Amino acid sequence: MQHLIDTNDFSDRDIAAIFADARRFKAKRPPRLLKDKLLITLFFEASTRTRSSFEVAAKRLGAAVVHLDPSRSSTKKGESLEDTFANLCAMEPDGVIIRHSENTTPSLLAEMEMTPVINAGAGNYAHPTQALLDLFTLEEYFADEGGVAGKKIAIVGDIANSRVAASDIRLLRRMGMEITLVAPEPFMPETDLPRTERIEEVLDKVEVIMSLRAQLERHAKPIFEDYAEYARHYCITEDLLADRSIMIMHPGPVMRNIDISDAILDDPRSLVLDQVTNGVYVRMAILKHLLLDT
């Protein structure tokens, strides 16, 4: 039984096959490859993109999707997460897609070996489908330049608390990208990567900036009182970019004019909505890979 807890669950060959499928699905709507399959989603944290993207992906391939809203589930009556999961598995789904605030929850449920578990975001540990759609978007952008190996990306923002950053760093590094971390000290994780607090230092060196929001829900107490002041140093603006051909990415949700300015979100250099579009095709290909083992 194959699970997706982080991107290292997939070999390079798996990722190449998934991306080939995603490209095919993007070029031409596929047949209903998963028409007999049923997935359950279990989101213990809020989501706009990931949950709806998985549902669209599953439905585009003909699968049925059942959502369990944890705030209205029997976990509220004291049922353990393991028992909730075991009861859902007793209904014989073909996979469970889970988001949770704890880093280890998806892997603990996967160890029960009852159904394929797909991590839709766990604590600050991993968000593998986001990292894969980010890599797909980068590969698409750099397709005419031989791919992403050797390309330079700056990851900017609350890196220490971001599961997207954690998964992106592992995956993009593995694919040969050169990563610089840009963050104020409270947002900087322990790292052996190049790092700086000053975004100006990377502007003439990178081809891509991945901006991240402050993960306020993971801050035990407020880190900055004034995000306008934070934005003065880290917001991606027209003034900051000038005429540089740096592509801008963000996993969402974007804190407008704190992470990225309104003007840059509308700028042709923004790949933010391309990431969302590609997310559906990449998740379609991931579901095909996990559920059909192809």
CA distance 177 to 147: 10
- Interface mask toward ligand CP for 105-134; x: CB under 6 A: ----------------x-----x--x----
47 contacts ligand CP (rule: CB under 6 A): yes
Helices 128-141 & 272-292 angle (0-180, nearest 10): 120
Residue number with CB closer to ligand CP (129 or 180)? 129
Q: Can you tell me which of 176, 186, 222, 253 binds ligand CP, judged by CB under 6 A?
A: 253
277 contacts ligand CP (rule: CB under 6 A): no
Window of 30-38, 46-54, 83-91, 197-205 that interacts with ligand CP by CB under 6 A: 46-54
- Least separation in angstroms between residue 48's CB and ligand CP is 4
* Phi, psi (rounded to 5 degrees) for 126: -160, 145
74 contacts ligand CP (rule: CB under 6 A): no
Residue number with CB closer to ligand CP (48 or 101)? 48
For residue 116, is the peptide bond before it cis, meaning its omega torsion is within 30 degrees of 0? no
Cβ pair 219, 163 in contact under 8 A: no
Which SS3 state, helix, strand or coil, does residue 121 take?
strand
Helix residue spans in 142-203 (DSSP H): 163-174
Tell me the β-bridge partners of 39. 65, 95
Cβ pair 71, 46 in contact under 8 A: no
Residue number with CB closer to ligand CP (178 or 213)? 213
252 contacts ligand CP (rule: CB under 6 A): yes
- Least separation in angstroms between residue 105's CB and ligand CP is 16
Window of 64-72, 174-182, 248-256, 286-294 that interacts with ligand CP by CB under 6 A: 248-256
CA 223, 226, 228, 230 torsion-angle sign: negative
Q: Can you tell me which of 2, 9, 17, 49 binds ligand CP, judged by CB under 6 A?
A: 49
Window of 13-21, 47-55, 58-66, 216-224 that interacts with ligand CP by CB under 6 A: 47-55
Closest CA to 248 of 266, 228, 230, 227: 266
CA distance 289 to 17: 9
Window of 42-50, 66-74, 82-90, 215-223 that interacts with ligand CP by CB under 6 A: 42-50
Specify the amino acid at residue 31: P
Binding site for ligand CP (CB under 6 A): 47-50, 121, 127, 130, 251-253
